[in-house]
Chain A
Amino acid sequence: MSLLDICWLALRNLRQSKLRASLTTSGVVIGVAVIISMISFGLGLQRDALSRFQNLDGLSEIHVFGSTLFSLAAKQQQGNSRTPQAATQQTAGGEFVPDYIPERALDDRALEEIAQIPGVVYVKPHINFSAYARANNRTIMDTFRGAPVPDPSSRLKSYAVGRMINSPDVDEVVVTQSFVRRFGYAKTADAVGQTVEIMDAPEAKDDAKPDDLVVARTYRIVGVLAEDPGGNRFRGLAAPSNIYLPLDAARSWKEEHPDPLSRVALRLAQKNGTVSRSQSVAFTSAVVRVNDPVQMQAVRTRLSQLGFGSFSFVDEFKQIRSIFLIINSALALLGGISLLVASLGITNTMLMSAFERTREIGIMKAIGAEEWEIKQIFFVEASVIGLVGGILGALLAWGVDALANRLAYRFILQPQGVEYLEFFHLPPALWICAVALALFVSMLAAFYPTARAARVDPVTALRHD
């Protein structure tokens, strides 16, 4: 007997007891709808909580730390016995704390090594400096920061006015709105096109007047950022600065204008061999970007083996995820109970059906049906109940979720002025899994009734009228 015939017989049987089949199916519909709604509620919560992180670069960036120049300078020449030492958890003025105490200088060679680690997209040192800037006829000390051009992260992307620096070797900068305020521009747009000059005081020579300042470098402002990187929406691991210039320009400024303490420390570190002779400027930290957050842990392990400390948001992330895993499991369990009840309904229906059709099964056996053919008919019946119930349940859950999302927005979020949020999140995988689960459970529920049906003794079955 072909599968088509078996399906035809199964559907015929279902049609003959329409009411019973549809009641059983509605049990599955409710079970599946509950399970999907429960899980989608959990997923919605999780998504809303995590979306704040998702927008950040924190998920794919690692903050890597090298030894400070001063600790390197203090170090006597030592052997190469390295055991990574866990850093004590102390927060120094809101800074990120590395997992291990760094033991190596983050010099150019180190950056190259880090760039070679599998999964690393790029590594960029943090170069910050403070200098006196002159703009709009005001000379104020401000903070500068080197930025990769173009910036592959999500930073430096949205502008109130203007645009990002065009290429890595042009004399252009972008500034923050607080820069605009500090330097007294009337409107944000006024700053664009203006110049920022970095001021320097040359060493006093006999013929120079002591109050003479010189313009060391001149940049054109091409953009004003829409929001301050250090503002309330903290994006990733970059510490705030007011003026962003190309990375190489920032580096060369630092090389040319080292502060006296750093200069001495660099010399000492070069002397004791912890920093290479060719190194002209020392970095204490850098950003490593990985192409897949999954690889983050492997990259971090490698970093600690190389002797660097690191920090990433994924640490906190893991804990949040595990909490949601518990919440989702509890919700799924509640939904699972309703599906379990539905499966008992299926078992009951199939048992009734097997009992009612004892004679029919006997007839089929007498004309040559094999046990597996009888079993298949019953399995197909149960599968149809499971599949139809699963699909209708998924549709019901979709409707309920959509309605609940609208109502929650209309009556809870909107009055409070909160933007639209998905309370229930229904990814396609959840649908598919729920329908597959319903199918699986219904077949499981049909197991015993099916075995009983197949065992019907034709002699007994045909005897009773």
Chain B
Amino acid sequence: MQTLLETQKVSKLYRMGRVEVPALVDASLSIGEQEFVTISGTSGSGKSTLLNIVGGLDHPSAGEVIFEGRPLVLANKKKMAQYRRFSVGMIFQNFNLIPSMTAIDNVALALAFGGVRGSERRRRANELLTRVGLKERVDHRPAELSGGEQQRVAIARALANRPRLLLADEPSGNLDSTRAEDILSLLRDMVQQDGLTVLMVTHDRELGARFATRNISMKDGRIDHESTRHLLARSA
């Protein structure tokens, strides 16, 4: 199994007035291709911070993130934007769709940033929405879609520019258990069928354990290697 992503002693300190609060301390991990890894921990354990750093949205105070064998050039804004655009896709608990745009426009926006033009853009957006099971709902705005459907649009958008790594921050947090399972099984399908790698933050360790191949536990900003374990993926 090839290593896709690695973090080396990544730390993040937040400054609150005079006090420095560590959100993440020396987090090192390695994710292989086509893995479905969950990060679990209580709130404030640093799991979202780690995800944001891996997703190129946040900068670590120390340490390195290595993607496909090359360290991220954190100081180069253009390169970081390109990384977010083509290398990783992100989905969030609150979906973060643009409310004034239809499902297809939300997906097309990501394709536009990726430089896909004209009819090809529309075709690809349709294809992506079909893949997540929203073929009939492409012209609906987020407010007209259920939570599960919104998260599917978000997944389609995250995968628009064919990233190899999908980062998910509590993707099922706002969904009822049935829809949550639907979303996670969709992600698992994508790992197994499309060769995607997923790194998912969740506080619902039970649910995660049913779909993921590995779980990483975090506590007080540190990776708790004791409780980190490989899970047997139970294929559906």
Interface residues of A in 319-372 (CB under 8 A from B): 359-360, 362-371
User: Within 8 Å CB of A413, what residues of B?
Assistant: none
| Least CB separation from A2: chain B residue | B117
| Least CB separation from B99: chain A residue | A360
| Least CB separation from B55: chain A residue | A366
Q: Is A141 an interface residue (CB 8 A)?
A: no
Let me know if B94 and A367 touch, CB within 8 A. no
Q: Is B161 an interface residue (CB 8 A)?
A: yes
Let me know if B109 and A368 touch, CB within 8 A. no
- CA of A359 to CA of B99 in the docked complex: distance in angstroms? 11
A11 CB to nearest B CB, Å = 13
Let me know if A462 and B96 touch, CB within 8 A. yes
Let me know if B96 and A1 touch, CB within 8 A. no
Let me know if B57 and A459 touch, CB within 8 A. yes
Let me know if A465 and B114 touch, CB within 8 A. no
Can you identify 7 A-B contacts, CB atoms within 8 angstroms? A12-B100, A363-B98, A367-B160, A368-B86, A368-B161, A369-B113, A370-B77
- CA of A459 to CA of B14 in the docked complex: distance in angstroms? 13
User: Within 8 Å CB of B89, what residues of A?
Assistant: 367
Q: Is B78 an interface residue (CB 8 A)?
A: yes
Out of A5, A371, A459, which one reaches B58, CB within 8 Å?
A: A459
A462 CB to nearest B CB, Å = 6
Q: Is A373 an interface residue (CB 8 A)?
A: yes
Q: Is A84 an interface residue (CB 8 A)?
A: no
Query: Which residues from chain A sit less than 8 Å from chain B, CB to CB?
Result: 1-2, 5, 12, 16, 359-360, 362-371, 373, 458-459, 462, 465
Let me know if A462 and B112 touch, CB within 8 A. no
User: Within 8 Å CB of B77, what residues of A?
Assistant: 370-371
Out of A360, A370, A462, A465, which one reaches B98, CB within 8 Å?
A: A360
- CA of A458 to CA of B59 in the docked complex: distance in angstroms? 11
| Least CB separation from B163: chain A residue | A368
Let me know if B57 and A367 touch, CB within 8 A. no
Out of A366, A368, A370, which one reaches B96, CB within 8 Å?
A: A366
Let me know if B52 and A368 touch, CB within 8 A. no
Top 8 A-B pairs, shortest CB-CB distance: A368-B85, A370-B81, A368-B84, A367-B110, A5-B112, A368-B113, A458-B57, A459-B58
Interface string of B90-101 (1 = CB under 8 A from A): 101010111010
- CA of A109 to CA of B65 in the docked complex: distance in angstroms? 91
Query: Which residues from chain B sit less than 8 Å from chain A, CB to CB?
Result: 52, 55, 57-58, 77-78, 81-82, 84-86, 89-90, 92, 94, 96-98, 100, 109-110, 112-115, 117, 157-158, 160-161
Known: A459-B52, A462-B92, A462-B96. A1 touches B115 (CB 8 A): yes
- CA of A366 to CA of B166 in the docked complex: distance in angstroms? 13
- CA of A365 to CA of B86 in the docked complex: distance in angstroms? 13
- CA of A5 to CA of B77 in the docked complex: distance in angstroms? 21
Known: A16-B100, A459-B52, A462-B92. A368 touches B78 (CB 8 A): no
- CA of A367 to CA of B92 in the docked complex: distance in angstroms? 12
- CA of A360 to CA of B109 in the docked complex: distance in angstroms? 12
User: Within 8 Å CB of A2, what residues of B?
Assistant: 112, 117
- CA of A251 to CA of B158 in the docked complex: distance in angstroms? 96
Q: Which of A2, A360, A363, A368 has the most CB of B within 10 A?
A: A368
User: Within 8 Å CB of A12, what residues of B?
Assistant: 100
Known: A363-B98, A368-B84, A465-B94. A1 touches B57 (CB 8 A): no
User: Within 8 Å CB of B161, what residues of A?
Assistant: 368
- CA of A362 to CA of B52 in the docked complex: distance in angstroms? 13
B210 CB to nearest A CB, Å = 27
Let me know if A368 and B55 touch, CB within 8 A. no
B87 CB to nearest A CB, Å = 9
Out of A16, A368, A465, which one reaches B110, CB within 8 Å?
A: A368
B81 CB to nearest A CB, Å = 4
- CA of A252 to CA of B91 in the docked complex: distance in angstroms? 103
Let me know if A367 and B113 touch, CB within 8 A. yes
Known: A2-B117, A459-B52. A367 touches B109 (CB 8 A): yes
- CA of A46 to CA of B71 in the docked complex: distance in angstroms? 69
| Least CB separation from B58: chain A residue | A459
Let me know if A370 and B112 touch, CB within 8 A. no
User: Within 8 Å CB of A1, what residues of B?
Assistant: 112-113, 115
User: Within 8 Å CB of A462, what residues of B?
Assistant: 57, 92, 96
- CA of A458 to CA of B89 in the docked complex: distance in angstroms? 14
- CA of A364 to CA of B160 in the docked complex: distance in angstroms? 13
Let me know if A365 and B57 touch, CB within 8 A. yes
Let me know if A365 and B98 touch, CB within 8 A. no
A37 CB to nearest B CB, Å = 39
Known: A360-B98, A459-B52. A367 touches B157 (CB 8 A): yes
- CA of A362 to CA of B55 in the docked complex: distance in angstroms? 13
- CA of A54 to CA of B109 in the docked complex: distance in angstroms? 60
Let me know if B113 and A364 touch, CB within 8 A. yes
User: Within 8 Å CB of B158, what residues of A?
Assistant: 367
A257 CB to nearest B CB, Å = 90
- CA of A373 to CA of B112 in the docked complex: distance in angstroms? 11
B120 CB to nearest A CB, Å = 13
B61 CB to nearest A CB, Å = 14
| Least CB separation from B110: chain A residue | A367
